[in-house]
Amino acid sequence: MATEITMPQLGESVTEGTITKWLVAPGDQVNKYDPIAEVMTDKVNAEVPSSYTGTINELIAEEDQTIEVGEVICTMNIEGGEAVESKEETGSPAVQQAESTDSGQPESSSSDTSSKKRYSPAVLRLAQENNIDLNQVEGSGRGGRITRKDLMAIIESGDVPGQDTGSASQKAPEAVKEAKPADMPLNGREQERTDVSKPSGGTTSGRAEEVPVSGVRKAIAQNMVKSKHEAPHAWMMIEVDVTDLVRFREKVKNEFQDNEGIKLTFLPFFMKAAIDALKKYPQVNAKWDGDKIIRYKDVHLSMAVATEEELFVPVIKHADEKNIKGLARELNDISRKVRSNSLKQEDMQGGTFTLNNTGSFGSVQSQPIINTPQAAILSVESIVKRPVVLENDAIAVRHMVNLCMSLDHRVLDGLICGKFMNHIKHSLENMNEKTVSIY
């Protein structure tokens, strides 16, 4: 009988993954440890290896479908009758079913529904935090299992079973049913934009289209909502005269590209200024951790990098130990990984502060959302030429840039953040060939 392969846990806090691409098809012969699928968790693609040698029998999960850890993604015919891993090794309810079958115990119809009572840590946590009676929830997972998506749909609808809300317990299952198609999107090869030119339910008129939500887009949405719900955002902006920096970079950029083979953009200079300020004010290089604040002694700089439809935040580890050349090279490397879709899980982990280059697409002011659990994020806007009144009341055309910072008000207050921003301003306004060393 075919053995069920489940979604592995690809990180300590990972509770689900999205199948972004199947690397095998039914009938394919695979060896143990061969990659069978690409899975996205936390906006990172990782390959899932086969646990056995055998033949792919059936692909249960569809491309772009989000699956909880421990849920079945495919089945395999195992070569040579390899033993199925024990429950202690996998913790997967699917493996328990495979064990009972291999040991000669016939499966009854109750075994398909027994998983309804098996709740993942994420489901239990959501149920406890929102006072949801799981006995009144209809699950959309395999065998009726309740998934995190089911509970999120109920919470967003406001009809929480188990709370004294009148007919809420009757409405909640309907909310779950309506959310089920979003939990089980179409196969990636079948996703098409649907023309919805006719009004539906009185909510839409005129021409429109339905665009299926990709796994990456879902992960971005979840992280942004989590950040806004958990972290009380405050915001400040400062303007900086970078005229000397513009002239200095213009003078050295061609020589740098000839020597290093990469372009010298403005961003490494802004990175350097931010890193120096983080070392001066470690209160900003921190995170909220429930009943305490964690302040980091090293700077691991998260860099927001966007493609046409996706956002990634790879991390430059020990950025405080690098000069302008080193930062430029690191920036070039992570940009190449994003473009080639070769980022790994470890490339995205461990960031302590985020820098966002919104100026690359012409923005002059923004309010970035904090990359939780970090305490702050800084956006570098476009450098623009405009008339400025100088200290002697003369008017001159200068190169100006806005720096915008969002902060977690649980961790930081305006005084420290103001000092932090002024330190960056002073550094940037005094960057020239006499004060800056590229190497």
| DSSP conformation letters of 237-281 | EEEEE-HHHHHHHHHHHHHHHHHHSS---SHHHHHHHHHHHHHH-
Q: Span 23-49, mean pLDDT?
A: 83
- Mean pLDDT on 27-54: 83
> What is the rounded CA–CA span in Å between residue 337 and residue 339?
5
Q: Which of 233, 276, 399, 409 is catalytic?
A: 409
In the predicted model, what is the mean pLDDT of residues 299-310? 87
DSSP state of 211: -
Which pLDDT does position 410 carry in this prediction? Answer: 96
Alpha helices, H only, 130-167? 148-157
Q: Is 245 exposed, middle or buried (0-12, 13-18, 19+ CB in 10 A)?
A: buried
Predicted confidence at residue 193, as pLDDT, reads: 46
pLDDT tens sequence across 231-273: 999 999 999 999 999 999 999 999 999 999 999 999 999 999 9
Mean pLDDT of 301-321: 89
**Angle between helical axes of 267-280 and 414-429 (0-180°, round to 10):** 140
Cα 374–Cα 378–Cα 384 angle in degrees, nearest 5? 170
10-14, 31-35, 313-317, 358-362: which is most confident:
313-317
Beta strands in 140-251 (DSSP E): 194-195, 209-210, 233-241
Q: Give pLDDT, residue 281.
A: 97
In 3D, which of 147, 220, 216 has the Cα closest to residue 180?
A: 147
Residue 422's pLDDT band, with cuts at 50, 70 and 90, is very high
Q: Is the peptide bond before 373 cis (omega within 30 degrees of 0)?
A: yes
Q: Strand 376-380 to strand 353-356: parallel, antiparallel, or no bridges (unpaired)?
A: parallel
What is the model's pLDDT at position 172?
37
pLDDT of 134 above 80: yes
- 333 or 110, higher pLDDT: 333
C-alpha distances in angstroms, 306 versus 153, 357, 407? 28, 10, 21
Sign of CA dihedral 225, 413, 423, 236: positive
Average pLDDT over residues 337-359: 89
> Average model confidence (pLDDT) for the chain?
80
Tell me what pLDDT residue 166 has.
43
* Beta-bridge partners for 295: 286
233 among known catalytic residues = no
Annotation says 413 is catalytic:
yes
Which pLDDT band holds residue 44 (cuts at 50, 70, 90)?
Answer: low
Identify whether the C-beta of residue 169 lies closer than 8 Å to the C-beta of residue 162.
Answer: yes
SS3 helix, strand, coil % of the chain, rounded to 5? 35, 25, 40
Q: Which one, of 421, 93, 369, lies nearest residue 240 by Cα?
A: 421
pLDDT above 90 covers a percentage of the chain that reads 48
| Residues forming a β-bridge with 398 | 386
In this prediction, residue 192 carries a pLDDT of 43
pLDDT score, position 142: 59
Confidence of residue 20 (pLDDT cuts 50, 70, 90): confident
Backbone φ and ψ for 252, nearest 5 degrees, come out as -110, -5
172-193 pLDDT, tens digit each: 333 333 333 333 333 333 344 4
Query: Between 376 and 11, whose confidence is greater?
Result: 376
Determine the 3-state secondary structure of 87 from DSSP: helix
Q: Report the range of poorest mean pLDDT among 88-92, 133-137, 420-424.
A: 88-92
Local confidence band at 307 (pLDDT 50, 70, 90 cut-offs): confident
**Segment (H or E) for 122:** helix 121-129
* Contacts (Cβ under 8 Å, ≥6 apart) of 257: 263, 264
**Residue 205's pLDDT band (cuts 50, 70, 90):** low
CA 426/CA 158 separation, integer angstroms: 49
Strands (E), 278-383: 286-289, 292-295, 301-306, 311-312, 315-316, 353-356, 376-380
Residue 427's alpha-carbon distances to 7, 146, 354, 404, 420, in angstroms, are 48, 53, 18, 16, 11
State how far Cα 146 lies from the chain centre.
Answer: 23
Using 50, 70 and 90 to split pLDDT, how confident is the model at 127? confident
Return the pLDDT at 39: 86
Q: Which residue has the higher pLDDT, 222 or 400?
A: 400
46-60, pLDDT tens digit by residue? Answer: 788 888 899 999 999
Cross-strand pairs, 18? 40, 66
- For the segment 91-126, what is each residue's pLDDT rounded down to a tens digit? 333 333 333 333 344 353 444 444 456 566 567 767
Active-site annotation holder among 112, 133, 413, 426: 413
Cβ–Cβ < 8 Å for 416, 284: yes
d(CA 149, CA 141): 9
**Cβ neighbour number for residue 182 with a 10 Å cutoff:** 15
Query: What is the pLDDT, as a whole number, of residue 122?
Result: 64
* pLDDT in the model for residue 54: 92
